[in-house]
Protein backbone atom coordinates (compact mmCIF):
# COMPACT_ATOMS: atom_id res chain seq x y z
CA UNK A 1 0.00 0.00 0.00
CA UNK A 2 1.27 3.45 -0.97
CA UNK A 3 0.70 5.48 2.19
CA UNK A 4 1.40 8.79 0.49
CA UNK A 5 -1.31 8.25 -2.12
CA UNK A 6 -3.72 7.05 0.53
CA UNK A 7 -3.00 10.14 2.62
CA UNK A 8 -3.67 12.34 -0.42
CA UNK A 9 -6.97 10.54 -1.01
CA UNK A 10 -8.00 11.07 2.62
CA UNK A 11 -7.14 14.78 2.40
CA UNK A 12 -9.18 15.11 -0.80
CA UNK A 13 -12.09 13.33 0.88
CA UNK A 14 -11.94 15.74 3.85
CA UNK A 15 -11.82 18.74 1.49
CA UNK A 16 -14.78 17.41 -0.51
CA UNK A 17 -16.74 16.84 2.67
CA UNK A 18 -15.93 20.35 3.86
CA UNK A 19 -17.03 21.79 0.49
CA UNK A 20 -20.38 20.03 0.77
CA UNK A 21 -20.86 21.18 4.35
CA UNK A 22 -19.94 24.85 3.96
CA UNK A 23 -20.62 25.77 0.32
CA UNK A 24 -22.94 23.22 -1.28
CA UNK A 25 -23.74 23.31 -4.98
CA UNK A 26 -23.14 20.72 -7.74
CA UNK A 27 -19.32 21.11 -7.98
CA UNK A 28 -18.52 20.05 -4.39
CA UNK A 29 -20.92 17.10 -4.74
CA UNK A 30 -19.36 15.97 -8.03
CA UNK A 31 -15.89 16.27 -6.51
CA UNK A 32 -17.07 14.34 -3.44
CA UNK A 33 -18.48 11.43 -5.47
CA UNK A 34 -15.37 11.31 -7.67
CA UNK A 35 -13.20 10.97 -4.55
CA UNK A 36 -15.46 8.13 -3.33
CA UNK A 37 -15.30 6.49 -6.75
CA UNK A 38 -11.49 6.20 -6.79
CA UNK A 39 -11.24 3.37 -4.15
CA UNK A 40 -14.07 1.47 -5.84
CA UNK A 41 -12.36 1.69 -9.25
CA UNK A 42 -9.07 0.55 -7.71
CA UNK A 43 -10.69 -2.52 -6.13
CA UNK A 44 -12.50 -3.39 -9.37
CA UNK A 45 -9.18 -3.10 -11.20
CA UNK A 46 -7.52 -5.53 -8.74
CA UNK A 47 -10.38 -8.02 -9.16
CA UNK A 48 -10.04 -7.72 -12.93
CA UNK A 49 -6.29 -8.45 -12.76
CA UNK A 50 -6.87 -11.47 -10.51
CA UNK A 51 -9.44 -12.86 -12.93
CA UNK A 52 -7.31 -12.20 -16.02
CA UNK A 53 -3.70 -13.01 -15.13
CA UNK A 54 -2.47 -16.39 -16.37
CA UNK A 55 0.20 -18.34 -14.46
CA UNK A 56 2.30 -21.16 -15.90
CA UNK A 57 5.00 -22.95 -13.95
CA UNK A 58 6.83 -26.23 -14.48
CA UNK A 59 9.91 -28.11 -13.36
CA UNK A 60 12.03 -30.64 -15.22
CA UNK A 61 9.69 -33.49 -14.47
CA UNK A 62 7.42 -34.03 -11.50
CA UNK A 63 9.93 -36.34 -9.81
CA UNK A 64 12.75 -34.47 -8.11
CA UNK A 65 15.63 -35.41 -5.81
CA UNK A 66 16.07 -33.90 -2.37
CA UNK A 67 18.78 -31.19 -2.16
CA UNK A 68 19.47 -31.37 -5.91
CA UNK A 69 18.58 -28.14 -7.80
CA UNK A 70 16.37 -28.54 -10.86
CA UNK A 71 15.45 -26.13 -13.65
CA UNK A 72 12.21 -24.29 -12.95
CA UNK A 73 10.19 -22.09 -15.31
CA UNK A 74 7.64 -19.37 -14.48
CA UNK A 75 5.47 -17.44 -16.96
CA UNK A 76 2.99 -14.65 -16.20
CA UNK A 77 0.71 -13.67 -19.08
CA UNK A 78 -1.54 -10.65 -19.65
CA UNK A 79 -3.97 -11.35 -22.50
CA UNK A 80 -6.08 -8.21 -21.93
CA UNK A 81 -5.79 -4.69 -23.46
CA UNK A 82 -5.23 -3.22 -19.96
CA UNK A 83 -1.83 -3.02 -18.31
CA UNK A 84 -1.20 -4.87 -15.06
CA UNK A 85 0.63 -2.29 -13.00
CA UNK A 86 2.01 -4.28 -10.04
CA UNK A 87 2.18 -8.06 -9.62
CA UNK A 88 4.36 -9.60 -6.92
CA UNK A 89 5.12 -13.34 -6.64
CA UNK A 90 5.22 -15.17 -3.30
CA UNK A 91 6.81 -18.66 -3.29
CA UNK A 92 6.35 -21.69 -1.09
CA UNK A 93 9.42 -21.53 1.14
CA UNK A 94 8.92 -24.03 3.98
CA UNK A 95 10.14 -27.11 2.07
CA UNK A 96 11.70 -25.68 -1.09
CA UNK A 97 13.71 -22.74 -2.36
CA UNK A 98 13.54 -20.85 -5.65
CA UNK A 99 16.83 -19.18 -6.55
CA UNK A 100 17.64 -16.22 -8.80
CA UNK A 101 14.25 -14.54 -8.24
CA UNK A 102 13.64 -11.95 -5.54
CA UNK A 103 10.55 -12.90 -3.56
CA UNK A 104 9.71 -9.21 -3.21
CA UNK A 105 10.19 -8.17 -6.86
CA UNK A 106 7.24 -6.33 -8.43
CA UNK A 107 6.46 -6.90 -12.12
CA UNK A 108 4.47 -4.82 -14.60
CA UNK A 109 2.79 -6.56 -17.52
CA UNK A 110 1.97 -4.55 -20.61
CA UNK A 111 -1.21 -5.38 -22.58
CA UNK A 112 -0.99 -8.65 -24.55
CA UNK A 113 2.42 -9.55 -23.12
CA UNK A 114 4.04 -12.24 -21.01
CA UNK A 115 6.93 -12.48 -18.60
CA UNK A 116 9.03 -15.67 -18.44
CA UNK A 117 11.70 -16.48 -15.88
CA UNK A 118 13.99 -19.51 -15.83
CA UNK A 119 15.37 -20.25 -12.39
CA UNK A 120 16.35 -23.15 -10.14
CA UNK A 121 14.21 -25.01 -7.63
CA UNK A 122 15.64 -27.04 -4.75
CA UNK A 123 13.52 -29.20 -2.47
CA UNK A 124 14.72 -29.79 1.08
CA UNK A 125 12.85 -32.94 2.07
CA UNK A 126 11.73 -36.24 0.65
CA UNK A 127 7.99 -36.58 0.10
CA UNK A 128 5.14 -35.03 -1.87
CA UNK A 129 4.27 -31.38 -1.37
CA UNK A 130 3.57 -28.05 -3.08
CA UNK A 131 6.38 -25.90 -4.52
CA UNK A 132 6.80 -22.83 -6.71
CA UNK A 133 4.30 -19.98 -6.69
CA UNK A 134 2.09 -19.91 -3.63
CA UNK A 135 0.26 -16.62 -4.13
CA UNK A 136 0.28 -13.30 -5.96
CA UNK A 137 0.11 -9.84 -4.43
CA UNK A 138 -1.87 -7.58 -6.77
CA UNK A 139 -1.80 -3.78 -6.37
CA UNK A 140 -3.89 -1.14 -8.13
CA UNK A 141 -2.44 1.54 -10.45
CA UNK A 142 -2.41 4.14 -7.64
CA UNK A 143 -0.89 1.81 -5.07
CA UNK A 144 -3.77 2.37 -2.66
CA UNK A 145 -4.62 -1.29 -2.06
CA UNK A 146 -2.93 -4.67 -2.29
CA UNK A 147 -4.67 -8.05 -2.32
CA UNK A 148 -3.01 -11.42 -1.72
CA UNK A 149 -4.39 -14.08 -4.04
CA UNK A 150 -3.58 -17.78 -3.53
CA UNK A 151 -3.36 -19.49 -6.91
CA UNK A 152 -5.87 -22.26 -7.63
CA UNK A 153 -3.53 -24.73 -9.34
CA UNK A 154 -0.26 -24.92 -7.38
CA UNK A 155 2.57 -27.18 -8.52
CA UNK A 156 2.91 -30.50 -6.70
CA UNK A 157 6.13 -32.54 -6.90
CA UNK A 158 7.27 -35.93 -5.64
CA UNK A 159 10.75 -35.60 -4.14
CA UNK A 160 13.00 -38.66 -3.95
CA UNK A 161 15.47 -38.96 -1.04
CA UNK A 162 19.06 -37.92 -1.43
CA UNK A 163 21.32 -40.95 -1.79
CA UNK A 164 23.86 -40.14 0.92
CA UNK A 165 27.23 -41.84 0.42
CA UNK A 166 29.42 -40.98 3.43
CA UNK A 167 33.12 -41.80 3.54
CA UNK A 168 33.06 -41.93 7.33
CA UNK A 169 30.62 -41.79 10.23
CA UNK A 170 30.96 -39.63 13.33
CA UNK A 171 29.27 -42.18 15.60
CA UNK A 172 30.82 -45.62 15.79
CA UNK A 173 31.78 -45.87 12.15
CA UNK A 174 35.37 -44.71 12.18
CA UNK A 175 36.44 -48.37 12.09
CA UNK A 176 33.83 -50.56 10.37
CA UNK A 177 35.38 -53.69 11.86
CA UNK A 178 34.57 -52.37 15.32
CA UNK A 179 30.87 -52.38 14.50
CA UNK A 180 31.13 -55.60 12.58
CA UNK A 181 32.93 -57.40 15.38
CA UNK A 182 31.31 -55.30 18.14
CA UNK A 183 32.73 -55.58 21.62
CA UNK A 184 32.53 -59.35 21.43
CA UNK A 185 34.67 -59.94 18.36
CA UNK A 186 31.82 -61.53 16.48
CA UNK A 187 30.94 -63.89 19.33
CA UNK A 188 28.29 -63.69 21.97
CA UNK A 189 29.56 -63.06 25.53
CA UNK A 190 27.93 -64.96 28.36
CA UNK A 191 27.18 -63.06 31.55
CA UNK A 192 30.05 -64.60 33.62
CA UNK A 193 33.26 -62.62 33.79
CA UNK A 194 36.77 -63.43 34.91
CA UNK A 195 39.85 -61.47 35.91
CA UNK A 196 41.86 -59.96 33.10
CA UNK A 197 44.90 -61.98 32.00
CA UNK A 198 47.79 -60.89 29.82
CA UNK A 199 46.92 -61.31 26.18
CA UNK A 200 43.14 -60.84 26.62
CA UNK A 201 41.47 -58.57 24.09
CA UNK A 202 40.80 -55.10 25.50
CA UNK A 203 37.44 -55.10 23.68
CA UNK A 204 36.23 -57.77 26.13
CA UNK A 205 36.78 -55.71 29.29
CA UNK A 206 33.57 -55.53 31.34
CA UNK A 207 33.81 -52.01 32.74
CA UNK A 208 30.92 -52.24 35.20
CA UNK A 209 32.25 -55.45 36.71
CA UNK A 210 35.75 -53.95 36.80
CA UNK A 211 34.50 -50.88 38.66
CA UNK A 212 32.60 -53.02 41.15
CA UNK A 213 35.53 -55.33 41.91
CA UNK A 214 38.35 -52.83 41.62
CA UNK A 215 40.13 -55.15 39.17
CA UNK A 216 40.02 -55.46 35.40
CA UNK A 217 37.44 -58.07 34.48
CA UNK A 218 36.77 -59.54 31.02
CA UNK A 219 33.79 -61.39 29.57
CA UNK A 220 33.73 -65.11 29.08
CA UNK A 221 33.09 -65.96 25.42
CA UNK A 222 30.93 -68.65 23.86
CA UNK A 223 28.82 -68.85 20.76
CA UNK A 224 29.07 -68.67 17.01
CA UNK A 225 30.40 -66.02 14.67
CA UNK A 226 28.36 -62.83 14.40
CA UNK A 227 29.15 -60.41 11.64
CA UNK A 228 25.97 -58.74 10.42
CA UNK A 229 24.37 -55.37 11.16
CA UNK A 230 20.60 -55.01 11.40
CA UNK A 231 19.00 -51.62 10.77
CA UNK A 232 15.40 -51.38 11.97
CA UNK A 233 13.63 -48.47 10.31
CA UNK A 234 10.91 -46.26 11.77
CA UNK A 235 7.50 -47.29 10.40
CA UNK A 236 5.09 -44.69 11.79
CA UNK A 237 4.14 -41.08 11.16
CA UNK A 238 4.04 -39.09 14.39
CA UNK A 239 2.33 -35.88 13.32
CA UNK A 240 -0.39 -34.63 11.00
CA UNK A 241 1.51 -31.42 10.25
CA UNK A 242 3.74 -31.62 7.19
CA UNK A 243 6.19 -29.11 8.67
CA UNK A 244 6.79 -31.61 11.49
CA UNK A 245 6.72 -35.03 9.84
CA UNK A 246 8.55 -34.21 6.58
CA UNK A 247 11.92 -33.23 8.17
CA UNK A 248 11.84 -36.18 10.58
CA UNK A 249 10.91 -38.77 7.94
CA UNK A 250 13.50 -37.35 5.57
CA UNK A 251 16.18 -37.74 8.24
CA UNK A 252 15.17 -41.36 8.87
CA UNK A 253 15.29 -42.32 5.18
CA UNK A 254 18.61 -40.58 4.52
CA UNK A 255 20.16 -42.13 7.63
CA UNK A 256 19.11 -45.63 6.57
CA UNK A 257 20.54 -45.10 3.08
CA UNK A 258 23.77 -43.64 4.46
CA UNK A 259 24.32 -46.51 6.90
CA UNK A 260 23.54 -49.04 4.18
CA UNK A 261 26.03 -47.54 1.75
CA UNK A 262 28.79 -47.01 4.30
CA UNK A 263 28.84 -50.56 5.68
CA UNK A 264 28.25 -52.14 2.26
CA UNK A 265 31.26 -50.24 0.90
CA UNK A 266 33.37 -51.48 3.81
CA UNK A 267 32.40 -55.11 3.34
CA UNK A 268 30.11 -55.35 6.37
CA UNK A 269 26.86 -57.30 5.77
CA UNK A 270 23.85 -55.16 6.59
CA UNK A 271 20.11 -55.86 6.56
CA UNK A 272 17.47 -53.12 6.56
CA UNK A 273 14.17 -54.08 8.20
CA UNK A 274 11.15 -51.88 7.50
CA UNK A 275 7.38 -52.34 7.50
CA UNK A 276 5.12 -52.37 4.45
CA UNK A 277 1.93 -53.85 5.97
CA UNK A 278 4.19 -56.70 7.12
CA UNK A 279 7.89 -56.72 8.04
CA UNK A 280 10.22 -56.49 5.06
CA UNK A 281 13.90 -57.43 5.27
CA UNK A 282 16.22 -56.02 2.61
CA UNK A 283 19.76 -57.46 2.56
CA UNK A 284 22.47 -55.13 1.26
CA UNK A 285 25.67 -56.79 0.11
CA UNK A 286 26.46 -55.03 -3.18
CA UNK A 287 25.84 -51.73 -5.02
CA UNK A 288 22.93 -53.39 -6.78
CA UNK A 289 21.36 -54.27 -3.43
CA UNK A 290 21.84 -50.69 -2.28
CA UNK A 291 20.07 -49.34 -5.38
CA UNK A 292 17.16 -51.73 -4.76
CA UNK A 293 16.96 -50.34 -1.23
CA UNK A 294 16.99 -46.80 -2.63
CA UNK A 295 14.10 -47.60 -4.98
CA UNK A 296 12.18 -49.00 -2.02
CA UNK A 297 12.84 -45.81 -0.04
CA UNK A 298 11.63 -43.64 -2.93
CA UNK A 299 8.13 -44.95 -2.53
CA UNK A 300 8.17 -45.84 1.16
CA UNK A 301 5.07 -44.72 3.05
CA UNK A 302 5.11 -44.14 6.80
CA UNK A 303 2.05 -45.64 8.44
CA UNK A 304 0.17 -45.10 11.68
CA UNK A 305 1.82 -43.69 14.77
CA UNK A 306 1.98 -47.12 16.44
CA UNK A 307 3.37 -49.01 13.44
CA UNK A 308 6.92 -49.02 14.80
CA UNK A 309 5.76 -50.74 17.99
CA UNK A 310 3.81 -53.20 15.81
CA UNK A 311 6.99 -53.86 13.86
CA UNK A 312 8.87 -54.73 17.08
CA UNK A 313 6.02 -57.09 18.06
CA UNK A 314 6.07 -58.78 14.65
CA UNK A 315 9.82 -59.38 14.63
CA UNK A 316 11.28 -62.56 16.05
CA UNK A 317 14.51 -62.45 18.00
CA UNK A 318 15.74 -65.32 15.79
CA UNK A 319 16.22 -62.76 13.02
CA UNK A 320 19.07 -61.19 14.95
CA UNK A 321 21.00 -64.30 15.88
CA UNK A 322 23.83 -63.52 13.43
CA UNK A 323 23.97 -59.79 14.19
CA UNK A 324 26.85 -58.11 15.93
CA UNK A 325 24.92 -54.85 16.44
CA UNK A 326 21.33 -53.62 16.03
CA UNK A 327 20.74 -50.08 14.78
CA UNK A 328 17.14 -48.83 15.07
CA UNK A 329 16.58 -45.55 13.18
CA UNK A 330 13.61 -43.91 14.89
CA UNK A 331 11.69 -40.66 15.18
CA UNK A 332 10.74 -41.20 18.80
CA UNK A 333 12.47 -43.17 21.56
CA UNK A 334 10.74 -43.80 24.85
CA UNK A 335 9.88 -46.61 27.25
CA UNK A 336 7.72 -48.47 24.70
CA UNK A 337 10.46 -48.40 22.05
CA UNK A 338 13.06 -49.45 24.65
CA UNK A 339 10.93 -52.45 25.66
CA UNK A 340 10.39 -53.43 22.01
CA UNK A 341 14.12 -53.38 21.31
CA UNK A 342 14.90 -55.41 24.43
CA UNK A 343 12.29 -58.02 23.51
CA UNK A 344 13.85 -58.78 20.11
CA UNK A 345 17.41 -58.56 21.45
CA UNK A 346 17.41 -61.95 23.14
CA UNK A 347 21.12 -62.43 22.38
CA UNK A 348 21.91 -59.15 24.10
CA UNK A 349 24.06 -57.74 21.31
CA UNK A 350 24.99 -54.04 21.37
CA UNK A 351 22.32 -51.56 20.24
CA UNK A 352 22.81 -48.08 18.83
CA UNK A 353 19.65 -46.00 18.26
CA UNK A 354 19.79 -43.21 15.68
CA UNK A 355 17.09 -40.70 16.57
CA UNK A 356 15.58 -38.04 14.30
CA UNK A 357 14.90 -35.88 17.32
CA UNK A 358 16.80 -33.84 19.89
CA UNK A 359 14.70 -34.79 22.93
CA UNK A 360 14.89 -38.23 24.54
CA UNK A 361 15.35 -39.90 27.90
CA UNK A 362 18.91 -41.06 28.52
CA UNK A 363 19.33 -44.82 28.52
CA UNK A 364 22.14 -46.57 30.39
CA UNK A 365 21.70 -49.85 28.50
CA UNK A 366 21.31 -48.56 24.95
CA UNK A 367 23.43 -46.01 23.10
CA UNK A 368 21.29 -43.21 21.62
CA UNK A 369 22.61 -40.87 18.92
CA UNK A 370 20.34 -37.82 18.59
CA UNK A 371 20.65 -36.56 15.01
CA UNK A 372 17.83 -34.02 15.12
CA UNK A 373 16.31 -32.70 11.89
CA UNK A 374 18.46 -29.63 11.19
CA UNK A 375 21.64 -29.72 9.14
CA UNK A 376 22.73 -32.15 6.46
CA UNK A 377 22.56 -35.85 7.25
CA UNK A 378 26.16 -36.43 6.18
CA UNK A 379 27.27 -33.76 8.66
CA UNK A 380 25.42 -35.05 11.73
CA UNK A 381 25.73 -38.79 11.08
Residue-wise DSSP of 311-328: HHHH--GGGGTTEEEEEE
Q: Does domain 1-160 match CATH 2.60.40.10?
A: yes
User: 278 CB contacts (<8 Å, ≥6 apart)?
Assistant: 314
Instruction: Enumerate the β-bridge partners of residue 150.
Output: 135
User: 44 CB contacts (<8 Å, ≥6 apart)?
Assistant: none
pLDDT at 185: 40
pLDDT at 140: 86
pLDDT at 38: 79
pLDDT tens digits for the chain (381 residues)?
Answer: 556 666 766 776 676 667 777 776 676 766 666 767 778 888 899 999 999 999 999 887 667 899 889 899 999 999 999 999 899 999 998 899 998 887 778 899 999 999 999 999 999 999 889 999 999 999 988 878 889 999 988 998 889 999 999 988 887 654 455 454 443 443 444 446 778 887 676 656 777 678 788 888 876 654 444 568 999 999 999 999 999 999 999 999 999 999 999 999 988 899 999 998 899 999 999 999 999 999 999 989 999 999 999 999 999 877 787 788 999 999 999 889 999 998 888 778 899 999 998 777 766 778 899 999 988 898 898
CATH 2.60.40.10 in the chain, residues? 1-160
Strand ranges for the chain from DSSP E = 54-59, 63-65, 70-78, 84-91, 96-99, 106-109, 113-123, 127-131, 133-139, 146-150, 155-160, 188-195, 217-222, 228-233, 270-276, 278-284, 323-330, 352-355, 367-370
Question: DSSP character for 205?
Answer: B
pLDDT at 356: 92
Rounded CA gap, 271 and 194, in Å? Answer: 34
Rounded CA gap, 334 and 342, in Å? Answer: 12
pLDDT at 93: 87
Rounded CA gap, 67 and 96, in Å? Answer: 9
pLDDT at 314: 92
Rounded CA gap, 175 and 315, in Å? Answer: 29
CATH 3.40.50.410 in the chain, residues? 176-181+224-380
Task: Could you please state the CATH topology (level 3) that the domain comprising 176-181+224-380 is classified under.
Answer: Rossmann fold (3.40.50)
Amino acid sequence: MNRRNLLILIILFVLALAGISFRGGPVPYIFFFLVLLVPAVCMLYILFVIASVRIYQRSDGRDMVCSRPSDFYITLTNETPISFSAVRIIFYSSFSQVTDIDDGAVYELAPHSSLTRRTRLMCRYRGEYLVGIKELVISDFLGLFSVRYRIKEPLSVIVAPANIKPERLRHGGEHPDADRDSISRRTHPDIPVREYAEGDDAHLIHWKASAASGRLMVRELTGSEKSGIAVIMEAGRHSEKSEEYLPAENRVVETVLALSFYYMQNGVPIDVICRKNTPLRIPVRSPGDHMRLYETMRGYSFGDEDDTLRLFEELSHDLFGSCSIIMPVLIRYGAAEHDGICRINADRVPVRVYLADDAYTADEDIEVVALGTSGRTEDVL
